Structure 1
Amino acid sequence: MSKRAKLLHGLRNAHRALAAGFTTLRVMGHRGAGETELRDFIDAGLAAGPRLVVAPWWITMTNGHGDLFYPPYTPRERWDTADGIEECRKLVRLQARAGADFIKVMASGGMSKGEQPSWPNYSIAELATIVETAHELDLRVAAHALSAEGIRRSLAAGVDSIEHGSYLDEEMAIEMAERGTFLVPTMSFNDWCQREGTLRGLTAQGVADLSEAHDRTLQAFSLAREAGVNVVMGTDSSGTLCPFGAHARELELYVRHGMSADEAITTATTNAASLLDRPDLGSLRTGAVGDVVVVEGNVLTDIGRLSRPSNIRHVVRAGRELSGYLRAVSEALDLQEPEHPTLAEGS
């Protein structure tokens, strides 16, 4: 897919997210997708969309998570990967030059073909260089880390958030709480894969592996809450799995696994604003930007109301009421609401 086509898909996804009541999105980056351009396009008022906080593309090592998304014979660009301390430092600086709002690094393997989540990606020294360089540039660092070793190295390096964190243990949860490191559990990705993975091209073994990771994620979620870790909502939406506009399913899963509805909403508002280092977001108070979502019904007794865009009656972004515009565009382009099937058994 060309960069232009990716940008148009991104504009559609941004519309769906805003129509579902999400006025700010953290975008985890994909090389050549034009996400910084889309952010600037929206910020300039040329289209309506959520406020985008963007990592231009992920930092990964050769043969690491993200690099293994591509067949070995695929032509690559010079800075698709970074190996060693100096390349890691250079790539953070290049991303800052490209307009990064934060940095995303792959600190462990993942669930893609040809890799294992247990594989650590990057040494502590490499990760620490990424964090040090980013922090010097006032950029926060998010670490994709499923494995215990990937989480351990990320914490030792001083990252700001752990993404997924499936194999988090009690000791590391306590360390996260002490350091103020955020956890973004991304439960809904695994939930979608359990229900629809084989329909979207995953093998039966891949779905089974993701089911095991989901079970570990639930344990990590419980350990993090017990330790007092700040949890932030995130979905790992890709457009195919966890479609845009269905992000609030993540909050349903938090409530199913022990959070009150009020706590769950906090993960998507004040906690999220803290992770982004944006005190002007996530709350209604003097000096805040004025994002408001009006939902039909009481979400404190039925958090699932947030998952159905038809329940979103008003969306106000930075003081502008956009609901009429969003509905008109949806109808004109025949943009269907994302499906809202029942959560997977055991999710």
Structure 2
Amino acid sequence: MTATDTRPSGRPAAPPTPTRPARVLSFSQRLSKWDLKVSPYLYISPFFIMFAIVGLFPIVFTAAISFQNWDLVRNSGEFVGFDQYAWILANPQFWTALRNTFSIFLLSSVPQLIAAVFIAVLLDRNIRAKTFWRMSVLVPFVMAPVAVALIFSNMFGDNHGLVNNLLTDWFGIAVPWHKDPFWSHIAIATMVNFRWTGYNTLILLAAMQAIPRDYYEAATVDGAGAMRQFFSITLPSLKATLIFVIITSTIGGLQIFDEPRMFDNTGQGGSAQQWLTITLFLYNIGWGEWNFGRAAALAWILFLIILVIGLINLVATRTLVRDEGSR
């Protein structure tokens, strides 16, 4: 028997592995390690800090005020529970404003989206001076909303407006733009479409240019026409962008304020509330009656309405675009 220990198999035992000393990180190395983990959050923190100050805090504060009979002078209020919400829902003006808001929203958002897609398709083609035309569609958006409202309110005047003068000369008729609810909604929706169609057009155009051109070349080789390429390639590829545009148009359409506010000299939504919207009704309650509790309650009701309509639009848009792409 030798002096060397052996295992049962007869092989000599492996020498013991020397213990490796623990590595000690210096302060600069630890700082660099923490920098890689923390720095991304520091870069995005300014947005969230500003949102918490100017966005989240007002939302929470408005929710608290909506349950109180708030006094702006004393900066305090008496808790009244859901009384402010009950008053809003029992007020006939709220339902009139809700009907007007949805009417103007549908008359503006639907034609606006269709026109934006159509113009974006035209600008996506190889046309002359395409940079000039792409910049031109954005000009209405950079105009001041008040200026647009003043110009169009004069154009749609009942007596000596430009539109009625042309209609009288050509067809011998005059439209009561400021008296009939439907025609007042048409006039206000025209203002909204004038301002926002170009903005949505550029967003859709940017998404169209990101679609690989190989798809269109392959479709052309297969004999697909322009309409078939649009419904089979362009529209399904714009799903995410269409969802974004529809949701933003929904939010903006249900919060419309400048156009109905400037459509006449009083800013009260018409003599019989023909074009009174929810935001205009909210403004009249808050700054007309100085009842900020009811105004806050109406703001939260509007928020819930926008949330529900936005979710419906999201589900409907995803379903329609997915079905069109699969077909």
Same fold (TM over 0.5): no
Q: Which has the larger radius of gyration?
A: 2
TM-score of Structure 1 vs Structure 2, range by shorter chain: under 0.3
Could you tell me the TM-score, scaled by structure 2's length? 0.25
Higher RCO (Cα < 8 Å, 6 or more apart)? 2
More strand by proportion, 1 or 2? 1
More helix by proportion, 1 or 2? 2
